[in-house]
């Protein structure tokens, strides 16, 4: 049976604790990137070494906007190509095949999140091998530094299911990467009309190999020995990346003219460039609402980085705006009952609350705080900007995205996926439907730089009255498949897919014009393109266009709730089957109908585990532990460590406790509090919380459960404060700094040194503010994206003071700090 059919979430996990070698032996991935579109071919090799037939079930992540367009299986010399069918029919055909002793293969998308798929390999005979080929196409998102991001999701963290959620959950088997028995090989080929500057990755790569002298084609491979402890992320950089393009693709020869696959299709990429005079004037108003994930899975480095990010955001906001901060987990909290005006007093009050923040609110239930935020009346002349930070481990992805879309007219939504395994469907979907921008923060990325880039977008003048017009030969008509463009940002790509019906000469041209209003001024961007189809694109553009339309129809079907006699669903299924692109209502099914060898005997099911992010505090449904540790149904090695803890035998920190296979769920959802102290970790370990697979809801009043031995543990020393963040924390809401010992410490000087060199006629606050600006420009230019708005506020405050000795202060600051920054560089 498939992992998506009527099951609740199951995090029991670790089949490999019994040293069972799973039947998936290896995964081979071939990536082909053409400009900003990627085609991915994954081959999964299975081998059944048992003496009984197997059913292998593998639940794995894919990019949320991918168009899965091919699925086939090879057993021996027999090749079976799957067909797309309505999901219920595919299930029945799969079950019938297994019951009759035939081999069958089923690939389906989760009902709740389009970035999770389940692959069922049925009736794999004893001592037999099978090779599964999966192909999908996807667009590559543009990053803040103009790189194109491709992500091969490897990590599938368990998705938290809200207590009252009615949909079927996803059965996920997740284990630490060190316990996986299958290997990954990965190769990429990149080609573009423009030269390829470089390819970077969070994983080790072999050197980039150019295939031609103009450097428009290159290959790169993942270095041998890659561990499944992270997603594979590639950042591809082209020269002159912001060139608008249009790709026309011929229709499928076997399809009827007039249908989606039979007609030509065009994919238009636009990069709007706004006048510098408009872009230099950032908005000085707005309601900024920051929604921070404080579930258990955000513990340790994530919550610390989130707190630093909130500090930077609060210091960067313009005077006169409004703001509020929410934290959410199994419940939600807010600093203020409603958004308040940004002043020195409200900023200080918020910062005190931010400093106390911990990842202590349990599960990941994002829907309720969103409903509360949207229920608050908007503030006149203060456009609402919502910033959402989450590791994306939610089960009701589509419900969340639908809520954002429903409220898209009242705000813009900027979303941030934190850590490995963050749901691309959730993060991209919220930003797309909320007219904002999505960012992913993985590995050693600093959250702050990406967040400040999104703040820059939020402070750009809002583009309104967006419309598109087409100018084509009279014998050609156009049907736009993409939803209307809701938002435009400086330098960010907008994609349009359109079906072209009719014939034209090869020399014919078309033109698309996007018109909009920016800061009260009508503007437009125009692109002329040839209608001659490009070569060697296959059906990539058609499949991406079909996927775009399928997603729109899925949302329309959810909004109608079946009130249209299922017509939308019928249209959606028909489109999915015709285009060969999967949807939430269809599945790929392949059956080996060779009856020469019927497979005998009962099937043994094997769940193929996926890697999870190792960490404390993943907030999942779990069994509340009410008895002693020895009563737990857990492996002996785990029981021994747990019993030692309860007797007062301390564990070695950094050693991994295997997760107990907890198969029950509790209501209400489990909540845990895991601050960054060894004392708290020890208490939680004794309560069954230390494993990333098992959480429990036991209050701090049960410390006697552990026997009191924990009092002997010393609290860890706090790391020294980063001078940059220390300096940021001292800035006033107005943009100025005060001359005090804290500032001297941040600058690496003594108070006496700072006072001694101060120009005699200089105001202390002016002197302190100029010193801070000089230090930032001299020593933190590599982090300019993070402090740019702080510096703009400071320069604006200084200009308002009309201070007579600015040049003298800058010169003295250079002497004190040992640098040579010009006054003009400070914006003065």
557 plus 474 within the same structural domain: yes
288 plus 273 within the same structural domain: no
pLDDT for 461 equals: 80
Torsion (CA) 804, 810, 816, 817 in degrees, nearest 10: 150
216 plus 83 within the same structural domain: yes
269 plus 300 within the same structural domain: no
Burial 569-592 (b: 16+ CB within 10 A, else e): bebbbebbebbbbbbbbbbbbbbb
Instruction: Give the strand pairing for 24-34 and 83-86.
Output: unpaired
Residue 387 lies in a domain: yes
Residue 291 lies in a domain: yes
Residue 274 lies in a domain: yes
**Number of separate domains in the chain:** 5
670 plus 681 within the same structural domain: yes
144 plus 221 within the same structural domain: yes
pLDDT for 124 equals: 78
727 plus 819 within the same structural domain: yes
Q: For 403-430, write each residue's pLDDT tens digit.
A: 999 999 899 999 998 887 788 889 999 9
Q: Domain boundary at 682, 712, 742, which?
A: 712
Q: For 165-185, write each residue's pLDDT tens digit.
A: 444 444 555 555 555 566 788
Residue 717 lies in a domain: no
Residue 543 lies in a domain: yes
pLDDT along the chain (828 residues), means of 10: 36 30 78 93 86 80 89 86 95 91 90 86 82 92 85 63 47 53 84 92 91 94 78 89 88 89 93 75 84 87 88 92 94 95 96 92 88 95 93 81 92 89 88 90 78 87 88 94 87 89 88 88 89 88 96 89 77 95 94 66 49 41 30 32 35 34 34 37 38 33 33 44 90 95 94 93 94 96 91 93 90 95 90
Residue 141 lies in a domain: yes
The percentage of residues in the chain with a pLDDT greater than 90, rounded to a whole number, is: 46
155 plus 298 within the same structural domain: no
584 plus 638 within the same structural domain: no
Q: Which residues touch 441 (CB under 8 Å, ≥6 apart)? A: 416, 417, 418, 419, 447, 450
Q: Domain boundary at 679, 712, 745, which?
A: 712
Q: Which residues touch 564 (CB under 8 Å, ≥6 apart)? A: none
Question: Which residues span the domain enclosing 520?
Answer: 245-278+463-577
474 plus 397 within the same structural domain: no
Q: Are 431 and 142 in contact (CB under 8 A)?
A: no
361 plus 478 within the same structural domain: no
Among 375, 383, 449, 429, smallest CA distance to 407 is for: 375
Q: Are 211 and 217 in contact (CB under 8 A)?
A: yes
How many Cα atoms within 13 Å fall on the side-chain side of residue 679?
11
Beta-bridge mates of residue 417: 390, 440
> CATH number of the domain that 490 lies in?
2.60.40
pLDDT for 264 equals: 94
84 plus 127 within the same structural domain: yes
DSSP for 39-100, written as a single string: EEEEEEEEE--SSS-EEEEEEEE--TT-EEEEEEEEETTEEEE-EEEEHHHHHHHHHHHHHT
pTM of the model: 0.76
User: How many whole angstroms separate alpha carbon 727 and alpha carbon 746?
Assistant: 6
Q: Domain boundary at 442, 459, 476, which?
A: 459
Beta-bridge mates of residue 394: 160
* CA distances to 157, 639, 658 from 654, in Å: 20, 18, 12
> From the CB of residue 175, how many other CB atoms can be counted at a distance below 10 Å?
22
Residue 718 lies in a domain: no
> CATH number of the domain that 380 lies in?
3.40.50.410
> Running DSSP on this structure, what letter comes out for residue 323?
E
């Amino acid at each position: 049976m498939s992992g998506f059919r009527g099951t609740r979430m199951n995090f029991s996990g670790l089949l490999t604790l019994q040293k069972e070698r799973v039947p998936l032996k290896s995964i081979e991935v071939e990536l082909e990137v053409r400009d900003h579109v990627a085609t991915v071919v994954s081959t999964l090799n299975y081998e059944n070494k048992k003496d009984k037939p197997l059913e292998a079930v593998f639940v794995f992540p894919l990019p949320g906007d991918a168009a899965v367009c091919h699925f086939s299986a090879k057993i021996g010399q027999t090749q079976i190509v799957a067909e797309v069918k309505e999901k219920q029919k595919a299930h029945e055909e799969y079950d019938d095949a297994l019951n009759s002793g035939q081999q069958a293969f089923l690939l389906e998308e989760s009902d709740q999140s389009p970035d999770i798929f389940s692959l069922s390999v049925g009736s794999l005979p004893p001592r037999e091998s099978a090779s599964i080929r999966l192909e999908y196409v996807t667009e590559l998102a543009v990053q803040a530094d103009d790189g194109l991001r491709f992500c091969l999701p490897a990590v599938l963290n368990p998705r938290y299911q809200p207590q009252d959620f009615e949909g079927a959950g996803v059965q996920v088997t997740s284990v630490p990467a060190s316990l996986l028995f299958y290997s990954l090989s990965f190769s990429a080929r990149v080609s573009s009309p423009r030269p390829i500057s470089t390819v970077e990755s969070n994983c080790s790569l072999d050197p980039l190999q150019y295939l031609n002298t103009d450097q428009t084609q290159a290959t790169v491979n993942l270095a041998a020995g890659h561990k499944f402890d992270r997603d594979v992320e590639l950042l591809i950089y082209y020269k002159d990346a912001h060139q608008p393009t249009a790709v026309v693709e011929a229709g499928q020869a076997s399809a009827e003219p007039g249908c989606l696959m039979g007609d030509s299709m065009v994919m238009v990429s636009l990069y709007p460039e706004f006048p510098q005079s408009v872009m230099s004037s950032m908005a000085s108003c707005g309601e900024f609402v920051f929604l921070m994930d404080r579930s258990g899975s955000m513990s340790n480095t994530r919550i610390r980085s989130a707190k630093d990010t909130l500090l930077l955001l609060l210091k960067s906001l313009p005077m006169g705006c409004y703001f509020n901060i929410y934290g959410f987990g199994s419940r939600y909290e807010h600093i203020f009952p409603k958004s308040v005006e940004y002043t020195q007093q409200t900023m200080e009050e918020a910062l005190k609350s931010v400093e106390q923040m911990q990842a202590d609110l349990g599960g990941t239930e994002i829907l309720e705080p969103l409903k509360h935020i949207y229920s608050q009346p908007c503030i006149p002349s203060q456009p609402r900007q919502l910033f959402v930070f989450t590791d994306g481990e939610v089960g009701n992805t589509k419900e969340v995205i639908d809520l954002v879309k429903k409220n898209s007219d009242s705000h813009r939504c900027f979303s941030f996926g934190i850590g490995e395994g963050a749901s691309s469907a959730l993060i991209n979907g919220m930003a797309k439907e909320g007219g904002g921008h999505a960012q992913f923060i993985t590995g050693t990325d600093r959250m702050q730089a990406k967040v400040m880039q999104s703040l820059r977008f939020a402070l750009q003048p809002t583009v309104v009255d967006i419309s598109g017009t087409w100018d084509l030969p009279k014998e050609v008509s156009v049907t736009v498949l993409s939803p209307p463009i809701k938002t435009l940002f400086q330098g960010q790509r907008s994609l349009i897919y359109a079906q072209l019906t009719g014939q034209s000469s090869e020399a014919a041209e078309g033109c698309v014009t996007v018109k909009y209003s920016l800061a009260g001024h009508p503007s437009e961007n125009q692109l002329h393109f040839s209608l001659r189809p490009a070569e060697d694109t296959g059906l990539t553009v058609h499949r991406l266009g079909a996927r775009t339309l399928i997603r729109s129809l899925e949302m329309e079907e959810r909004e109608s709730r079946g009130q249209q006699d299922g017509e939308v669903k019928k249209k959606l299924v028909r489109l999915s089957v015709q285009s060969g692109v999967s949807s939430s209502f269809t599945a790929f099914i392949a059956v080996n109908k060779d009856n020469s060898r019927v497979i005998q005997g009962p099937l043994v099911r094997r769940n193929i585990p996926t890697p999870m992010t190792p960490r404390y505090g993943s907030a999942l449904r779990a069994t509340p532990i009410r008895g002693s540790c020895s009563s737990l149904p857990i492996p002996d090695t785990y029981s021994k460590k747990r019993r030692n803890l309860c007797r007062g035998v301390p564990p070695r920190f950094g050693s991994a406790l295997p997760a107990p296979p907890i198969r029950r769920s509790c209501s209400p959802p489990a909540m845990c509090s895991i601050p960054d102290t060894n004392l708290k970790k020890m208490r939680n370990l004794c309560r069954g919380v230390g494993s990333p697979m098992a959480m429990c809801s036991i209050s701090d009043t049960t410390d006697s459960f552990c026997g009191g031995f924990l009092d002997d543990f010393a609290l860890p020393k706090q790391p020294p404060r980063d001078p940059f963040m220390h300096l940021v924390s001292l800035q006033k809401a107005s943009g100025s700094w005060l001359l005090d010992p804290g500032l001297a410490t941040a600058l690496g000087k003594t108070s006496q040194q700072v006072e001694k060199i101060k120009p005699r006629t200089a105001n202390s606050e002016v002197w302190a503010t100029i010193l801070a600006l000089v230090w930032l420009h001299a020593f933190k230019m590599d982090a300019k994206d993070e402090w740019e708005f702080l510096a703009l506020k400071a320069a604006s405050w200084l200009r308002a003071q009309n201070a007579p000795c600015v040049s003298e202060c800058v010169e003295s600051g250079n002497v004190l700090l040992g640098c040579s920054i010009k006054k003009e560089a400070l914006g003065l």
